[in-house]
């Protein structure tokens, strides 16, 4: 059914039934013929149709078993009163052609309401499309501006022109990553002190920076990240290691993942021991001049060993030899050793550390990853450390600086210098 929208404000819906077979022209003729003169000249259907105040009368009719049924639609641009009068006049029709017929009006539809509903639905569709396009263009614009600013912020540092953040010189700490895209991702999330090595061959610029700054190596969670870390540990002084989740790269991490990885960074020595990363021997040799032990020289071995004779430690130049010899001593643990062993068992699988006073009372308990920094900052007189972790050279050096006499850990790492003034015990020694 087609309705002319230019002549339609209302649409009359009527139903017809006839006791015989009738066709569409019969129905239209009956409507015009039987209403002629009924409503006066002002509402004569022929005149109204000529003037365009009512539209084309549409009829849908079908016949079955000698009877006909169908629907009549009359579009009207008259006002509500005139349209209602015209609709009621249809119900006066009682014959169509030679057959008796009945017409009943189902409803008068306000076409403008239907149009308004269609307008609302279409407006919703258009608005959704507009919002979607605007949001996409806004995101693209924001991302474009952000990326352009990030690219502008990246500097080329050192002789090798390494990609780096703008704060690489001003910051006391730097983050060493693999490539330019890693630096870009960190810049995107507000970290401006990163520098890239650009390959597995570590540039001299990185080694020079590592002498004066606290270095965190932030590597990918794959085989390539481990290779770069090995090379970096070989040629530069790395303080901490942070690693992306397994199978992921630094360049694809979200801000939350980046911050979590950096918060969970580990001291380099502990990371190497925990993950059994094989560092080439020349890395240890490079650090050896400052850390070679001298207890075997003939000058003063005996006087240095006498103060700690009770534990029979100075007889050994190597911590590994001492650990092998420990079972042979067969000595009963002292009260302090018993207490330290019990604390170590309590801390098992907690990744916690306890700082103890001279009377073996607890001063503070901290996470193992914060132990080194806490030792540096602590103003308390610490006598012993017990922690669920690997005893590293760095921890021993800090113990010497802080005049800590006892260090107890889960196991011993790669120690190049065993200080005679610090007693070091592991779980195996105290078992």
Helix (H) or strand (E) holding 355: strand 352-356
**Can you give the C-alpha Rg of the chain in angstroms?**
46
Q: Where are the domains of the chain?
A: 5-113, 155-288, 305-430
> Tokens 């189902």, residue?
106
The pTM of this model reads 0.41
Q: Identify the architecture of domain 5-113 in CATH.
A: 2-Layer Sandwich (3.30)
Kindly report the average pLDDT of the chain as a whole number: 81
Q: Is 125 exposed, middle or buried (0-12, 13-18, 19+ CB in 10 A)?
A: exposed
Q: Are both 5-113 and 305-430 of the same fold?
A: no
Express each pLDDT in 303-321 by its tens digit.
443 333 334 334 334 444 4
Question: How many angstroms separate the CA atoms of 205 and 203, rounded?
Answer: 5
Question: How many angstroms separate the CA atoms of 387 and 384, rounded?
Answer: 10
Is the domain spanning 155-288 CATH 3.40.50.300? The answer is no
DSSP category for residue 19: S
Contacts (Cβ under 8 Å, ≥6 apart) of 250: 177, 178, 182, 185, 186, 218, 219, 220, 244, 258
pLDDT at 263 over 80: yes
Express each pLDDT in 200-250 by its tens digit.
788 889 988 888 888 999 999 888 888 888 888 888 888 899 999 988 999
Question: How many angstroms separate the CA atoms of 392 and 414, rounded?
Answer: 7
**Residue pair 96/16 in contact by the 8 Å Cβ criterion:** yes
Is the domain spanning 305-430 CATH 1.20.950? The answer is no
Express each pLDDT in 326-367 by its tens digit.
444 445 778 888 888 888 888 887 888 999 998 888 999 998
Helix (H) or strand (E) holding 162: strand 162-164
Beta bridge partners, 408, equal 386, 425
DSSP category for residue 275: T
């Amino acid at each position: 059914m087609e309705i002319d929208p230019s002549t339609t404000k209302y649409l009359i819906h009527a139903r017809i039934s006839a006791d015989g077979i009738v066709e569409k022209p019969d129905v239209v003729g009956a409507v015009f013929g039987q209403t002629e003169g009924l409503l006066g000249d002002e509402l004569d259907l022929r005149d109204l149709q000529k003037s365009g105040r009512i539209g084309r009368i549409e009829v849908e009719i079908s016949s079955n078993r000698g009877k006909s049924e169908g629907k009549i639609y009359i579009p009207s641009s008259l006002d509500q009163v005139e349209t209602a009068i015209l609709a009621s006049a249809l119900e006066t029709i009682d014959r169509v052609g030679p057959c008796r017929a009945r017409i009943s009006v189902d409803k008068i539809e306000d076409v403008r309401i239907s149009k308004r509903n269609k307008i609302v639905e279409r407006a919703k569709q258009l608005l959704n499309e507009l919002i979607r396009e605007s949001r996409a263009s806004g995101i693209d614009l924001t991302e474009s501006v952000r990326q352009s600013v990030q690219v502008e912020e990246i500097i080329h540092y050192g002789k090798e022109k390494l990609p780096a953040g703008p704060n690489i010189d001003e910051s006391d700490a730097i983050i060493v990553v693999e490539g330019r895209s890693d630096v870009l991702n960190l810049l995107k999330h507000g970290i401006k002190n990163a520098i890239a090595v650009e390959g597995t061959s570590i540039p001299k610029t990185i080694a020079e920076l590592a002498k004066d700054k606290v270095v965190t190596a932030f590597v990918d969670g794959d085989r390539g990240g481990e290779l770069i870390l090995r090379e970096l540990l070989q040629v530069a002084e790395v303080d901490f290691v942070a690693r992306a989740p397994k199978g992921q790269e630094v360049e694809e991490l979200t801000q939350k993942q980046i911050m979590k990885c950096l918060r969970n960074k580990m001291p380099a020595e502990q990371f190497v021991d925990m993950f059994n990363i094989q560092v080439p021997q020349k890395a240890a040799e490079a650090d050896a001049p400052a850390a070679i032990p001298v207890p075997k020289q003939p000058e003063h071995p005996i006087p240095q060993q006498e103060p700690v004779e009770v534990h029979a430690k100075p007889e050994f130049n190597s911590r590994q030899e001492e650990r092998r010899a420990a079972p042979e001593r067969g000595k009963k643990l002292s009260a302090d050793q018993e207490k330290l062993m019990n604390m170590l068992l309590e801390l098992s699988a907690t990744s916690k550390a306890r700082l103890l006073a001279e009377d073996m009372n607890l001063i503070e308990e901290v996470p193992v990853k914060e132990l080194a920094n806490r030792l540096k900052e602590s103003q308390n007189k610490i006598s012993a450390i017990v922690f669920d972790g690997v005893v590293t050279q760095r921890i021993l050096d800090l113990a010497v600086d802080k005049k800590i006499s006892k260090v107890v850990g889960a196991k011993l790492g790669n120690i190049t210098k065993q200080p005679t003034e610090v007693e070091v015990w592991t779980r195996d020694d105290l078992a």
